[in-house]
Structure formats: structure tokens, C-alpha cells
Amino acid sequence: MRYARPTTLNDALELRASTPGITVLCGGTDLYPATERPALSGPVLDISAVEGMRGVTQTADGLRIGAATSWSTLGAGDLPPSCSALQQAAREVGAVQIQNAGTLGGNLCTASPAADGVPPLLVLEAEVELCSTRGTRRFPLGGFLTGARRTALAPDEILSAVHLPNRALAGQSVFTKLGARRYLVISIAMVAARLELEDARVRSAALAVGACSAVAQRLPRVEAALIGAAPAEAAGRIRSDAVAAALSPIDDVRGTAEYRTQAAAELLRRAVAKLCQAAPGTQPRVTAA
Amino acid sequence: MSLDAPAPTVTVNGRSVETAGMSPVLRLSDVLREALGLTGTKIGCDAGDCGACTVLIDGEAACACLTPLGQVIGRNVTTVEALCTAGTARLQSSFLRNGAAQCGICTPGMLMAAAALLERTVRPDRAEVEEALSGVLCRCTGYAKIVDAVCDWLEEAPEPEPPESGASVGAAVPRLDGRPKVDATEAFGADILPVDALLVRAIRSPHPHAAFAFGDLAAWAQAKSGVRLVLTAADIPGLNRFGVIPPFADQPALAQSVARFRGEAVALVVGEPCALNHAELADFPVRWHPRPPVHDPQHAAEAPALHATRPDNLLVTGRVRTGDARSALTGAAHVVDGSMQTAFVEHAYIEPEAGAAWLEGETLVIRACTQAPIMDRDDTAAILGLPAERVRILPAAAGGGFGAKLDVSLQPLIGLAALRTGRPCRMVYTRRESMQSTTKRHPGQMTARIGADAQGRLVGMVFDGVFDTGAYASWGPTVANRVPVHASGPYRIGAYRAEARAVHTTNPVAGAFRGFGVPQAALLQETLFDKLAEACGMDRLAFRRANALSDGDSTATGQRLFGVGIGACLDALKPHWQRALADAAAANARPGVRRHGVGIACCWYGCGNTSLPNPSTIRLGLTGEGVLTLHQGATDIGQGANTVITQICADALGLPVTAFSLIGPDTALTPDCGKTSASRQTFVTGRAAAEAGAALRAEILRRANAGEDGVLDLTAGRLTVRDAQGVRPVALDGPPDLRGYAISAEATYDPPTTPLDENGQGVPYAVYGYGAQMAELAVDTGLGTVKVTRITAAHDLGRVINPQLAEGQIEGGIAQGLGLALMEEYVPGRTENLHDYLIPTFGDMPQIRSILIEVPDPEGPFGAKGLGEHVLIPTAPAILNAIRHATGAEIDRVPALPHRVMAALQDAERRGKVPR
């Protein structure tokens, strides 16, 4: 039999290290669509039963999300408003069947350019926890994702958790997904935005765009332009050329590169406007750039 | 820790199941269907895209196709089979009562997703139902009746009283074949599991155009575990050529030396099911020698001919000419012109092609999904070198068809395998195979000029269309001939010239898809009409009304029409139109990125074959035991023929539908009712059913010596006739007639048409149906996204046989029309699955209001006209017209994906066409 479903991380890591090329299975929502046969082939390491890999826990330096946490669990969890984008994304992945099975860690390891989980995690400055029998390392998510369907995961490693540092758990966030239909859709573009407002000014801003480059991107230049803005003017400070400069979209069946760039800027303005609307005594205006 | 199997039991529907010996990485769906025989769980994609395989795992909805067996060990799995016994059985009754199941292939998934919701929320609202069921795709219903059924599930509605004798036509009879669809006992192609069957898999071309040569097939088969046999074109005993229109038959069942499109089958591998199903066939010994593909039909003439007898790669040109259109346009007060480009559209039924074949004595029996059993029989027999009577087609339930299951797909393949092995053989297409290898809607590249006089009367139209018919003929000739007849729309146009060419490329085979090219042509004609109405300074509905055909008018083919309902449809929409225009204006008075618009478009559609015979024959008999048997050979692919034909026959005979037992379709037992296409079954087979019913009635009355007003009764096998003279029994115990019945009747009806001459003049159809739809929507001008909020659809059915089924057709047709307009585009090699190829989901559908108009047709049974294809024709142009009304954006290429709408918006800005 070429299948194991260990219950401890150590057992899983032993197998991962001792069986080169073993397929790591968790929710199955990416692995099964990749084959037309009735079963997966090759040795399979099923990490869905590993203890400590599901659910969200508070740690001294922030929140720890087990990599095997399903979208449903994440979407229904009691998380701070800074995580709203992540929870909204969780409720937009596929539909309920996919959300019940698919996991955050799987989404990151598959590393699709259109992975819905990535932009919200980028604005939360997430770090991934990578374990192997050699030890544990943490990696900023942006560095972990090295390209379209490529990651820095070593052949003997398992992505065990995602950490959200306390410094990024401030403020409020929002996620918007743009697709050609309502449900079960791969994004043409998507954005996540997290803002901290203080004394009716933007104190900090984190913006990320997905499906518009091989790996979803933060937009530091655009973010910097928002600092100090009054809520009503913040969205207007998002310049299309600055957004475009941060992205490298492609033409595909879902949309053109040109459209993606425009849409990303528009989605960011709306996301920021929406977050600013929540601020007391402000009436934001959305203007086209 | 080692790679050991887990403790192997799983609880399925309350029963503990041993899984020892099964691979823990098997898909749960495979375990349920193949090992446990629980075939109620359907497979539509094996990728989590369609939700047909939804089951509950510890009460939560999951796609069984994505779930490894190893993860359900020790857990509770609930499948649709358990619903029948649970309290949720009433949910299934609600599905039946509300018309929520058409073909029924998605129904188990819908039921399971609903069951998960109802476990938590007993009385969900519509939004909660949509959200909870959004992971399941349906291609037939347009979703509204499914939402109705879930919201309505707690209603203690009594089973509706069946209509009395003589009152069947017009009654919302729940579909007579509906119970097996809602209790998931319906046998679709993949559910046919003959004992000891071998599995058949196809080797398909990965190239759009390639010569190929095989290596040592025998050695490969010998070495490959589970493989019994490899079959190629060389093994085909008959004529390796099929086609829906015999003079154009050109498609090999297995390609011989050259593959002409990506996905074309070149060989079959036959073997023991388990081993073969798991095997990777990438090492199959075939060498490909790619040739230059021909992708653009506009340049196909420059490429070498794909078929020796068709120079310039031109398959067929269809023409209709009347008057001098060019002069008329020269003299017109207002002329508009434009172009429209459409994409390949995939039928995307949730059931990939599947079926089984076996031998019964000398007869090859094929049970597979189909829309055309007799055509399947004849094509398969010819390919296999058998006389037609040695092939029996026994259609499985079709999990959707929409035109693509008219052509044979796997029938000759499994037939060949069964003949060669002597064992039952089954085949189930993967989603990718289904999408690659079966037909598509023809992409059209069309231009037109249309002119009107100063009073807004149409004076001339010129239309030219190139339709990409792909590698083989299929229904290309039909599209080329139908389009010029219909491209005028249901309007009077004095001078008209239309030409459509079906051109070969190495793209997918384009065939029949609900409308045969007419929806494409209507996109151009109806969008140009909006511009022309504007040029004439007329309201868009009023412009159409002023030019609409009416009784006694002649069409562009010179046919005089009667029973024309387009005017009545437009009149019915008028109050809604005015309300909608006011609503849109009010909404647009508020600032914002969302601009609101209203669009309208009309359709007409000739029912039945174009100028070709297409008879249907219905047989009806009473057995000596008093069983009333209807031999109903029209395949019901979800549209409702089983119910509608019975309703018509019931009223013609004078007995209730409950008195009928249905047989068929089955080429051994039912006379030919033709194919389920061209919106012909209600009209043509319905007319045959009406005549058969009337003939049987006449014979019964004659035997009872009763007058025309005799009232029939069939109770407990006893037939009586009551009239003024009293009640008399009719003896059924005499010797059976030649058909084996005590009394029987058979009637054939073939619509009276005439051939079209070289100018397309003649009577192509005996009956036309009409419709008009109005779309209300909002365009997000910042993103180019379109949200259609409401569609009001007025359709002239002549006589409504079954209002619930008619609404189901309208709602489902609108869903497909919306997909055509906004999201559907098949790109070979790129969108061969249901996550890259998008069809509408629950969340994409507008509110739909159906208005059923009855302008009786002189030819149709009880005045009835066809409806099935009409319903999607106006949707897409109405949507484009509403986008233009909202924003000024003119879309000349569908689907109107957000980036195309955005580009059109920017173009409208540049041209100063944005409404203020």
C-alpha cells in the first residue's frame, strides 16, 4: 500500500523525508482535478489527520492558522476585522463543497497565480511555517511563492502553518474577486486591502493584487501614497500607472493584460473607499483616474 | 510509521462498509458507483467543477470526486439513495412538483447540497438556497425552479390531481417520467453496468491536424496490464464514415492516418475495467506528424482541402434572395451596417457521453445517451457492416443534449468492441474527452446592412455569414441553410439577400446547438435593429412591432404565413417595456458607476427539418387486458416529450394521461419519431400522436357504435363508451391485430414543406414559433461587468400543452442565451473543462417572467408550435441591446466578457456615444 495518513507531524515528516517524490495530499481539491483516473498515482502522504494542523490559534506574536484549515473553518471563524479579507476570500473559493475540503496550505502550495488566499495573506504580512526532519523555518509568504505554481518548499518539507504577526492584525481589511460569473470562478483579478485609520487619516495601508502577475503582489508605492490621506480622498490617490507598474499581467481566456491592469486599479480604489467608508464622519468619493 | 492502510470501514447511508483491498486514494465517487453500486451519485467532471457528485460527509457537502476514500474511513457518508427513506423525501417530491428536474443528471447533486442546507436551516430564503447550492451546475433549468423546490419543500402539497379526460392539453402535468429523476434511480449512460463488461477507452489526437502511424500495437497490448485488444480504423468492418446528413457523411468513427481536429479518436483500447481504468495510456504506440492547422475560416480557402471533394474547404453555401436588396438599400432613408463575431459554444451538458453495448443473439444492443435513436442505429450499422435490423438502440436517459447528442459519439466504438470481443463493453467519456470530441455551436463571422424608409419601414437587408463548421460536416449544411432563411428575423423586409457559408477548418466539429446558427444571426440582426430604430427616431419596441410579420405576410422565402404570433408577443411586452424604461431612467438619474439599460429582441424559428422530410410515427394500442400502450419514440432529453406527447395523445383519444403506459424510445419497439432537434417533437410527433389518438378513438367509437360525442372510460382494464344511449363496454378479448393489440392505431405525420430553389424560395417549414424577450441589466462601467437583473419573455406557443414544462424550456433557454452573451467561449486546448469554460451558475441568473402567448397554428396539434430553440435566440441580442442602451457600448463580439465590454465602453466614450 502506498498511502499513509499519519496523525503526528513527526510521522508525516519522516515519511516525507524517506519517500522521495511522495505526493502530499490534504483537501484533494487540486490533486484530483489534475488526473482523469479514478485514483491518485504514486505514494501519497495524506496530512489531513495530522494533529495541530487545523484551526486558528492565538500565539504570543500573532495568529497561527494550521495549514490544513479548511476554507469553511476559516470563513466561519471568529477573527479580528483585519482578517475580513481572508475570510471573505475563504467564502469565495469555489463553492461550499470546495470550501469544506480545500485548505489554506494547499492553496499556497499549489501556488496558482489566481490563488484566492494569497492577496489577503499578503496584506496580513503572513509568514509560512515550513517543517522538515531538519527543523522548522519561517518564510515571508511573498518569498515562499517563487513563480506560477512554484514555491520555495523543499522536497522534504511540509507547510505546517501560516503565521499572521500582531503588527499586521490592526485595522480593517476587504477582499474583492472579479470573475466572469458569480460562483465557481477563477479570478480575472482580485484585490485585498487593509487599512489602519487614525485621527481621520490613513495611518497604514497594505494592498495586494492577485491574478495579475505570476505571483500576487503587494503594491508598496501605491500604499505609500495613501499614508496621511483623509478617508474621503484616499481612494483617489491610487494612480493607475503606479498600479500598472507593480503588475505584470498576461492575456488569457479570462481577460487581456490591459484590462487586468485597469480592473486592478479600479478594484483597489473601491476596496480602499469601502474601508474608508467605515471610518466615522467620512464620505469618500470614488473618482476614475 | 509506514505506508499502511488505515482501518478500513466507512459508514455509507448507515451501513458499515468494508473497504479492505480498495486503494485509499480512490475517489469516493468511484467507490460509491463502481464498488457499492450507488449510481445515484453522478460524475460530471471529476474536478469539483459541477457538483453532480455531491454527497454528505458527516453532514457536510463534499464532492465525492475530490474525496479520497482514505479520508472517509470511520466517517458517515450519505448519498442520494438515503434521501428516499429520510424525512427529506418530501424534498424530492417538491422537485417533481416544481419542475426542478429536467434531464435529471444534476438532480442528485442539487438534492444533496439542499439536504446539507436544510439540516441547518429549515426554511431557507432564496439567497440562502442559491449560496448553498451554488456549487452544483445545471444546464437545463436556469435554476429558478430548483430554488423554488428547495424553498417549497415543507409545503404539504397534495400530489396534483391529474387532469380529467379531455383536459390534459394545457394542464401543468408534472413530468410523467419525473419520479426516477428525483429519486435518482434514472439510468443514464454511465449507469448502465452490464455484468462482465469490458471497458473501452479512446486514444485521441493531441493535435488539431496530424498524420499518424501506429507502432507495434499487438506487443503493446500484450505487455499492458488489463488490455485485451486494440482497435483501429483497420478493424472497422463497414464503411468508416458517418454523418447526420447522409449525402455529407464524412466523419470516420476512428480516424484513418490523418486526424483533423484535436480530440479525434484514432484507436480504442479495450480491457478489463479495473486495470484499464487506472492505466495511463501515454505510452500508447502512436507517432504524430503534425500538419499545419487551419484555424481561421476566412482563410480556409487558401489551405489544402481537408476533404478531397470540397475545394476551398467550402462545405455548403445557403442563400435566400428576394427583390433587389442593393437597390433598396441605396434608396433607403436610413441604413445601418455592422458585424458580429461569435465563438465556439460548448453544450456543457452535465452528463459526459456514456453507454454500453452487448450482443443479444445476433443483435447488437446499444444503450447510450442519444437524441436520435434511429440515426444512431443507421450510422452504427453502416460503420459495423451490419444490416440495420441487427442493431438495436435502446437510449439511456440523456443527461442533457441540446444538439450534440444527435451525432453518434461512442455508439459505433462500443458496438465495434462488443462485436469483436463478444462481451458487453462500456465506455464513459471524461469531461475533457466530451468537450474535445463532440460538436460545438458554429462560430459565426457575420456582416449585414439593413435599411428603412422615412416611416421606419424595413426596405432591404443584406446579410453575409461565414460559419466555422470545423473538421467534418455534421450539421454544417443545416446551419448554412437555416441562417439565410431566418436572418431577417420575424419581420417584413421587401428586398432581402442573405448568404451563409459553412467552411471547414481543423477546429472542433461544429454541429447542432439549440438554434442551428439562428442565435448567431439574430445577434447581428437584432442589434442592428436598435441602431436602425434610433436612426428612424422610433422606440425600439415600436419599430419592431411596425415591421413584425402578420398573418398573410410572405417571408423572404416567399412563404405565406398564418398563425403569426410575433405581434402578440411584442404587445404583451409593451407594458413591461415602458415600466422597465422608466425604472432604468430613474436608476440612471442617480450618479454611480452602475448604468442601467433595457434591451429587446425577437425571434422566429421554423420547426422541423429545413425543406426535408422528417416524419414521426406514433403507435397506440390497447391490450386484451385493457392496458393502453403508447409507443413513444421521441427521445426525452429533459425537455418533456414523454409528458407532452402523452398529453396530446390523451386529449385526442379522450382518456386521461394516467391511463397510458409508455414504451420507448427503443428502435425495436417504437416506430421512428425522428430526432429530438429542430424544436420538432411537440409539433411533428405531437401531430402524429394526435392523429394516432384520434384514429384509435374512431375505432373504439365504431366498435361501440357510438357517435363522435362518445365518452371513453378505461377503469381496471375495462373499456367503456358512454353516450346518449348509455354506457357500453368495448370488447378487448378478440384475436390480437397485426401489432399484437386488441385495438390499435398508428399515424405518421410529415410536415408539408417544399424544397428551396436556387434563390432560397420555397416553403422550408410548415410551422414557425415566435418570441420576444426583454432584458434589464446594470453595467458596471468601472469594470465592464454586466448583471442581468430581469428578463421578461413572451413566447407564442400556438397552444400551451404544458405550462410548467414550457416555463422550464424558457428559463433554461435564457440561461444558455445569457451564457452565449456573457461568458461562453470554447477554446480548444484551453477551456476543455468546466472551470475554464464557464456556464451560468445560480448567481448569474436574472429573475425571469414567462408570458405564454397562444396564437394557434393551423398545422400544429391543437394549434401548438415548437419552443425548445426559440427560447434562447432573443436572449443574447436583448442583453447586448440593453448594454448599449445603458452605456452606448456596442458589442460586436460575444461573449461580452468584462474586458470586451470595457473596451467597447472606452470606444463609446471616444465616439461620444455615451448616453447622458
Q: What is the DSSP string of B800-823?
A: -S-HHHHHHHHHHHHHHHHHHHHT
B881 pLDDT higher than 70: yes
The pLDDT > 90 percentage for chain B reads 97
Q: What digits encode the pLDDT tens for the residues B365-400?
A: 999 999 999 999 999 999 999 999 999 999 999 999
Q: Are B280 and A37 in contact (CB < 8 Å)?
A: yes
Q: Are B70 and A267 in contact (CB < 8 Å)?
A: no
**Residues on chain B touching A75 (C-beta within 8 angstroms):** none
Q: What digits encode the pLDDT tens for the residues A158-201?
A: 999 999 999 999 999 999 999 999 999 999 999 999 999 999 99
- pLDDT at B684 (0 to 100): 98
3-state secondary structure B18-69: ECCCCCCCEEHHHHHHHHCCCCCCCCCCCCCCCCCCEEEECCEEEEHHHCEH
A239 — contact with chain B (CB < 8 Å)?
no
B887 pLDDT higher than 90: yes
- Nearest Cα residue in chain B from A31: B66
Q: Are A36 and B432 in contact (CB < 8 Å)?
A: yes
Residue A286 Cα, gap to closest chain B Cα (Å): 9
Q: What digits encode the pLDDT tens for the residues A114-146?
A: 999 999 999 999 999 999 999 999 999 999 999
pLDDT level of residue B159 (50, 70, 90 thresholds): confident
- Nearest Cα residue in chain A from B902: A259
- pLDDT at B87 (0 to 100): 67
Nearest to A184 among B3, B54, B134 (CB): B134
- How many CB atoms are closer than 10 A to CB B14? 11
- pLDDT at B188 (0 to 100): 98
B7 pLDDT higher than 70: no
Q: Are B60 and A100 in contact (CB < 8 Å)?
A: yes
Residue B5 Cα, gap to closest chain A Cα (Å): 6
A33 — contact with chain B (CB < 8 Å)?
yes
Q: In sequence order, what are the beta bridge partners of B721?
A: B712, B728
- Nearest Cα residue in chain B from A100: B62
**Residues on chain B touching A36 (C-beta within 8 angstroms):** 46, 430, 432
Q: Are A96 and B132 in contact (CB < 8 Å)?
A: yes
Q: Helices marked H in B552-657 — which ranges?
A: 566-589, 641-653
Q: Are A183 and B54 in contact (CB < 8 Å)?
A: no
- Nearest Cα residue in chain B from A97: B62
Mean pLDDT on B525-550: 98
A4 — contact with chain B (CB < 8 Å)?
yes
pTM: 0.97
Nearest to A46 among B54, B70, B280 (CB): B70
**Residues on chain B touching A185 (C-beta within 8 angstroms):** 838, 841
Rounded Cα distance between A127 and A144, Å, is 9
Cβ–Cβ under 8 Å, residues B632 and B670: yes
**Residues on chain B touching A8 (C-beta within 8 angstroms):** 1
Q: Are B66 and A33 in contact (CB < 8 Å)?
A: yes
Q: Are B902 and A259 in contact (CB < 8 Å)?
A: yes
Q: Are B71 and A259 in contact (CB < 8 Å)?
A: no
Q: Are B70 and A98 in contact (CB < 8 Å)?
A: no
Residue B154 Cα, gap to closest chain A Cα (Å): 23
Rounded Cα distance between B412 and A55, Å, is 53
A110 — contact with chain B (CB < 8 Å)?
no
B286 pLDDT higher than 70: yes
Q: Which residues contact B326 (CB under 8 A, 6 or more apart)?
A: B460, B462, B497
Nearest to A39 among B27, B432, B898 (CB): B27
- Nearest Cα residue in chain A from B130: A183
B123 pLDDT higher than 70: yes
Q: Are A97 and B113 in contact (CB < 8 Å)?
A: yes
**Residues on chain B touching A258 (C-beta within 8 angstroms):** 899
A188 — contact with chain B (CB < 8 Å)?
yes
Nearest to A263 among B49, B66, B783 (CB): B783
Q: List all residues of chain A from 124 to 143 with a beta carbon under 8 Å from chain B.
A: none
A236 — contact with chain B (CB < 8 Å)?
no
B599 pLDDT higher than 70: yes
Rounded Cα distance between B199 and B676, Å, is 29
**Residues on chain B touching A262 (C-beta within 8 angstroms):** 902
Rounded Cα distance between B478 and B491, Å, is 22
Give the rounded distance of the alpha carbon of B823 from its chain centre: 18
Q: Which residues of B684-722 are buried (b: 16+ CB within 10 A; e: fewer)?
A: bbbbbbbbbbbbbbeebbebbebeeebebbbeeeebbbe
Residue B129 Cα, gap to closest chain A Cα (Å): 12
Q: Which residues contact B625 (CB under 8 A, 6 or more apart)?
A: B717, B732
Q: Which residues contact B872 (CB under 8 A, 6 or more apart)?
A: B514, B515, B519, B813, B814, B816, B817, B820
**Residues on chain B touching A48 (C-beta within 8 angstroms):** 71
Q: What is the number of residues in chain B?
A: 916
- Nearest Cα residue in chain A from B835: A185
**Residues on chain B touching A29 (C-beta within 8 angstroms):** 48, 63, 66
Q: For the packed helices B566-589 and B540-547, what is the interaxial angle rounded to 10 degrees?
A: 170
A76 — contact with chain B (CB < 8 Å)?
no
Q: What digits encode the pLDDT tens for the residues A19-76?
A: 999 999 999 999 999 999 999 999 999 999 999 999 999 999 999 999 999 999 999 9
Residue B276 Cα, gap to closest chain A Cα (Å): 10
Q: For the packed helices B686-704 and B641-653, what is the interaxial angle rounded to 10 degrees?
A: 30
pLDDT level of residue A287 (50, 70, 90 thresholds): very low
B55 pLDDT higher than 50: yes
Q: Are A263 and B897 in contact (CB < 8 Å)?
A: no
A70 — contact with chain B (CB < 8 Å)?
no
Q: Are B6 and A286 in contact (CB < 8 Å)?
A: no
A288 pLDDT higher than 60: no
- Nearest Cα residue in chain B from A270: B782
**Residues on chain B touching A3 (C-beta within 8 angstroms):** 3, 5, 23-25, 70
- Going edge to edge, which strands form the sheet with A189-198? A172-178, A189-198, A201-210, A217-218
Q: What digits encode the pLDDT tens for the residues B321-347?
A: 999 999 999 999 999 999 999 999 999
pLDDT level of residue B8 (50, 70, 90 thresholds): confident
Rounded Cα distance between A249 and A247, Å, is 6
Rounded Cα distance between B383 and B239, Å, is 5
Residue A252 Cα, gap to closest chain B Cα (Å): 9
Of A98-112, B153-167, B349-363, B828-842, where does mean pLDDT reach its minimum? B153-167
Residue A83 Cα, gap to closest chain B Cα (Å): 22
Q: Are B836 and A253 in contact (CB < 8 Å)?
A: yes
Cβ–Cβ under 8 Å, residues A71 and A98: yes
Say what the ipTM of the complex is.
0.96
Residue B519 host element (H or E)? helix B518-536
- For residue B397, the SS3 value is strand
Q: What digits encode the pLDDT tens for the residues B631-662?
A: 999 999 999 999 999 999 999 999 999 999 99
**Residues on chain A touching B836 (C-beta within 8 angstroms):** 186, 253
Q: Are B841 and A184 in contact (CB < 8 Å)?
A: yes
Average per-residue pLDDT for chain B: 96
A278 pLDDT higher than 80: no
Cβ–Cβ under 8 Å, residues B721 and B898: no
**Residues on chain B touching A14 (C-beta within 8 angstroms):** 1
- Nearest Cα residue in chain A from B109: A97
pLDDT level of residue A279 (50, 70, 90 thresholds): low
pLDDT level of residue B160 (50, 70, 90 thresholds): confident
